[in-house]
A and B are shown apart, each in its own frame.
Chain A
Amino acid sequence: MKPRPTLYGLMVEFLTASEILEATRRAWQAGYREMDAYTPYPVEGLAAALGLRRSRVPFVVLIAGLVGALLGFAMQYYSMAVSYPLNIGGRPYNSWPVFMPIAFEVMVLVAGFAAFLGMLLLNGLPRPHHPVFNVPGFERSSQDRFFLCIEAVDPLFDLQGTAEFLAALKPHGSVIAVPRDRQWKAKPVESIQRQQAEESVSP
């Protein structure tokens, strides 16, 4: 007997940005927190509707920039004043004003990498596979459709109740149950409910 697919969440599809905004706001009002929207471009106001706080990226970049500037300066100080002091036209070994351009460049370099890698790592990327990719038609999330997924880890999540809540948002198509495992195809939630009902009847 195959093990049961563990559920990642329930997903619905919308055709416009205003629908997904409205749906997300209503889900938030209904108390759902562990959810995510998938849109082909960043929709204004969606992050706020999902209750996302200011991201930690700026802090990471600030720290990286400071570290980079210090590193750049320390590298020059060490090589020019400590490791191999050279008298160039009587200038002081630690001629700090001329060390500024390279300290600046190293700062930008390190901070830039922090902005890029910070975005990737905080987003959990690279991640070649994810349960939401199991949903048929999900490839349109990068083209012209808008998806909302309430995840099974949400404390208020309940297969029956959440499915009814999502269906009441008048999505395009049916409510899709998203399996966590890639072996199972995502399918409309009714078929899972039917299956569960059958299993509870049989011994």
Chain B
Amino acid sequence: MASDEPTTPAEPGASLGDIPRPNYVPAGHDFASVTEKVSSLVLRRGVGLGWLGGMGLSQLVVAVFLLTVAYLLIMGIGIWGINIPVGWGFDITSFVWWIGIGHAGTLISAFLLLMHQKWRTSINRIAEAMTIFAVMCAGLFPLLHLGRPWFFYWLLPLPNTMGLWPQFRSALIYDVFAVSTYFTISLLFWYMGMIPDLATLRDRAQNRLVRLAYGMLAMGWRNSARHWHRFEMSYLLLGGLATPLVISVHSVVSSDFAVSVVPAWHETVFPPYFVAGAIFSGFAMVLLLCIPIRHFYKLKEFITIDHLDVMGKLLLGTSLLTSFGYLAEQSLSWYAGEAVESYVYRYRLTGFGQYATIVWILFFCNTIAPQILWFKRWRRNEAVLFVVSVIVLVGMWLERFMIITSSLSRDFLPSSWGMFKPTIWDYLTYGGSLGVFFAAFLLFARFAPILSMSETRALLPGAHGTEVGR
């Protein structure tokens, strides 16, 4: 992988004095070449060997996942290591982890849209797709955890013969609404942003069937200025709705823990602490996906080294926020002086043989390792960023695991203490969901425009009738 790449100024006048401005605009491209480059990734014939290999591997994992789920449905969730007292194990850990990963996607697409951060353009489509697939994987876990997933509709407020309703005072029912709304809005946002690009694919398709397929998806979009006028307003409004939504979703997820009376769960710091961790892990996943994509799809002038640089900064920033959460948790429990609470925190840090090894590994992954990103030299190195992203993803999974299992294993009554021991099925269910995610993502990379062509065109020099300056 390439190490340093020089910053090329986007256009004359884009540099202020001697300070090189970051370059987020594909240099040397015009409207036609942007269209050609991105749409040819979709409209070319056949598939590459790399894609085929990745897809084959992912499908193999999906097959394992399906077998695991089949066995789970036959035998029940007793095949997992969960039991009383630790009733939540890998399943809820993976749920919280996956849903957190989705958050960076919405943040990039919606929040940066509201902030007029133009650098989102090259990566927002990838990040949004990541959100959708991550939320899909997340949704699997609570459903499987039900034990009898075919009764999932009991969670919905449907009139039924028993005359019962869901318990709306419970954070677990908040979850149903928050996650399903989040998935639906993310899907709408993703699809709506893609409509003009689908129209481009329709207009460029040579094959009749391909033209018909993209034409149906584009719904007759004809690039009219009147349409763009409403489109931009609606897109902005969707962004405005998605931004508070994303904050609410992980806050609701954290309420699953925070409203319960379990030591080291019952804390007011949980919602912001969970949201920060969610965005942190999500940025790591975006980097993990963007680096191979820019490499294998030869999109280095679109997803520039400056994009990776700014994402590295965000990764570092969210790492500091999450680490502050760790510090706040520890110091508040110490300051409160509540006996069981203090005990659980001490147990987390010193209970080697129980969970302390995991806790120290996660501190290394989430707090120590990202500090390398203070250095510009390493932030602009694909290999370093990739490795740090993997470390962060592992660390965030361990963090969710630590929060869930260590608290449950040390309840108020020492007589009900117990440990969580994962079985092979725990590993296979979690690992299998990775296959589902990557298989879905590879399908997206083959059949959908992975960069927003219309937004990229609008960034090009001269796009708005002026030569320089936007």
A residues within 8 A CB of B252?
101
Partner of B238, one of A21, A104, A115: A115
Residues of A within 8 A of B40 (CB): none
B contact residues, total (Cβ < 8 Å)? 66
Query: Which residues of the other chain, A, contact B242 by a CB distance below 8 angstroms?
Result: 108, 112
In contact, B223 and A141 (Cβ under 8 angstroms)? yes
For residue B233, which residues in chain A have a CB less than 8 angstroms away from its CB? Answer: 55, 57-58, 119
Residue of B nearest to A141 (CB): B223
- Chain A residues, Cβ within 8 Å of B184: 109, 112-113
Q: Knowing A42-B232, A75-B157, A118-B234 are in contact, say whether A144-B35 is a contact too (CB < 8 A).
A: yes
A19–B189 alpha-carbon span in the complex (Å)? 32
- Closest residue of chain B to A148 (Cβ to Cβ) is B225
Encoded as 1 (CB less than 8 Å from any A CB) or 0, chain B from 320 to 336 comes to 00000000000000000
Residues in chain B near residue A55, CB distance under 8 A = 229-230, 233
Interface SS of A by simple majority:
helix
Contact pick for B220, options A111, A112, A128, CB 8 Å? A128
Cross-chain contact of B226 among A36, A58, A88, A109 (Cβ < 8 A): A36
Q: Closest residue to A46 on the B side, CB-wise?
A: B225
Contact between A130 and B230 (Cβ–Cβ < 8 Å)?
Answer: no
With an 8 A cutoff between CB atoms, is B422 at the interface? Answer: no
Mark contacts of A46-66 with chain B using CB atoms, 8 A cut-off: 1 yes-contact digit, 0 otherwise. 110010100101100100010
* Known A-B contacts A95-B169, A99-B168; A116 and B192 likewise in contact (beta carbons under 8 Å): yes
Chain A residue at smallest Cβ distance from B196: A142
Would you list which residues of chain B between 225 and 255 have a CB under 8 Å from chain A? 225-235, 237-238, 241-242, 244-245, 248, 252, 255
Q: Is the CB of A119 within 8 A of B230?
A: yes
Task: Report A86-118 residues with CB < 8 Å from chain B CB.
Answer: 86, 88, 91, 95, 98-99, 101-102, 104-106, 108-109, 111-113, 115-116, 118
Q: Complex formed: what's the CA distance from A144 to B456 in Å?
A: 12
What string of 1s and 0s marks CB contacts (under 8 Å) between A152-183 and chain B?
00000000000000000000000000000000
Contact B226 A50 (CB under 8 A): yes
A44 to B460, CA, bound (A): 13
Chain B residue nearest in CB terms to A119: B234
**A residues within 8 A CB of B188?**
112-113, 115-116
Cβ of B15 within 8 Å of any chain A Cβ, yes or no, is no
In contact, B30 and A144 (Cβ under 8 angstroms): yes
- Which of B31, B157, B178, B241 is A143 in contact with, Cβ under 8 Å? B31
Q: Which chain A residues (59-87) contact chain B, with CB distance < 8 Å?
A: 61, 65, 75-76, 79-80, 83-84, 86
Distance A116 CA – B238 CA, assembled complex (angstroms): 8
B445 to chain A, nearest CB (A): 21
- Give the contacts of B171-195 with A (CB-CB under 8 A): 173-174, 177-178, 181, 184-185, 188-189, 191-192
Interface string of B347-366 (1 = CB under 8 A from A): 00000000000000000000
Contact A40 B223 (CB under 8 A): yes
Q: Which residues of the other chain, B, contact A36 by a CB distance below 8 angstroms?
A: 224-226
A10 at the interface (CB under 8 A from B): no
B200 x A142 contact (CB < 8 A): yes
B432 within 8 A of A: no
CB-nearest residue of chain A to B466: A18
Given contacts A55-B233, A95-B169, A116-B238, contact A143 B200 (CB under 8 A): yes
Contact of A109 among B31, B185, B232, B234 (CB under 8 A): B185
Interface pair B169/A115, CB less than 8 Å apart:
no
A84 and B160 alpha carbons, distance in the complex (Å): 12
- In the assembled complex, the CB of B466 is this many whole angstroms from the nearest CB of chain A, namely 8
Indicate if the CB atoms of B458 and A41 lie closer than 8 Å: yes
Please state if A125 and B168 are interface contacts (CB–CB under 8 Å): no
Across-interface contacts of A75 in B (CB, < 8 A): 157
**Least CB separation from B231: chain A residue:** A119
Task: For the complex formed, measure the closest distance between the CB of A88 and the CB atoms of chain B, giving whole angstroms.
Answer: 6
Q: Does A127 contact B (CB under 8 A)?
A: yes
Q: Do residues B163 and A104 form an inter-chain contact, with CB atoms below 8 A?
A: no
A125: chain B residues at CB < 8 Å are 219-221, 227
The 20 listed contacts between A and B (C-beta, < 8 Å) are A17-B465, A38-B224, A41-B457, A42-B458, A45-B464, A47-B225, A65-B241, A84-B165, A102-B177, A105-B178, A115-B237, A116-B188, A119-B235, A125-B220, A127-B219, A127-B220, A129-B220, A130-B222, A139-B204, A144-B32
Besides A17-B464, A41-B463, A47-B226, 10 other A-B contacts (C-beta < 8 A): A43-B465, A55-B229, A61-B234, A79-B168, A84-B164, A88-B167, A113-B184, A116-B192, A118-B234, A128-B220
Question: Which 7 residue pairs spanning A and B have beta carbons closest together?
Answer: A144-B31, A139-B203, A126-B219, A79-B165, A18-B465, A119-B234, A42-B228
